Amino acid sequence: MRQIADRLFLFLIVGYLIRLPRGFRLTQDTVKIVGSSNFPVKVYVMLHQKSPHVLCVTQRLRNSELIDPSFQWHGPKGKIISENSTTQVTSTGSLIFQNFEEGMSGVYTCFLEYKPTVEEIVKNLQLKYVIY
């Protein structure tokens, strides 16, 4: 068992098992979590650590070009999230926590508004994340 652990590092994200080389350094800046339009995505964040980037897109949309996207994050109590010393919303709609605390846990919702192409009408998507 020890030999297997020495050869590779296994990492579980949203139901996918990924094989990474042993020397690969996984940091919170390299981990990106995408949403699902079918169910809330669970995101575990270690206490007093920086969170992974929680993206306001699905895997399909992440691989697409979005025209005029706008993002709005709401916290567990329904309040719009604004940037402060512990929470950051990037220009691309990612939610990032600095120094995560237990009281920050809960259901976070991202509202995404975008156009798939210039000619198409605006589409709306709501993604939920259980962050704990």
The Cα 74–Cα 111 span in angstroms is 8
Cβ contact 127:110 at 8 Å = yes
Rounded CA gap, 68 and 116, in Å?
9
Domain topology for 27-131: Immunoglobulin-like (2.60.40)
84-95 pLDDT, tens digit per residue, is: 999 999 999 999
Q: What phi and psi, each to the nearest 5 degrees, are found at residue 88?
A: -130, 135
Q: Which pLDDT value is given to residue 70?
A: 97
Q: What whole-number distance in Å separates Cα of residue 19 and Cα of residue 11? A: 7
Sheet order of strands, 67-74 included: 41-43, 123-131, 106-115, 67-74
Each residue of 22-71: pLDDT tens digit? Answer: 665 556 567 999 999 999 999 999 999 999 999 999 999 999 999 999 99
Does the pLDDT at position 123 exceed 80? yes
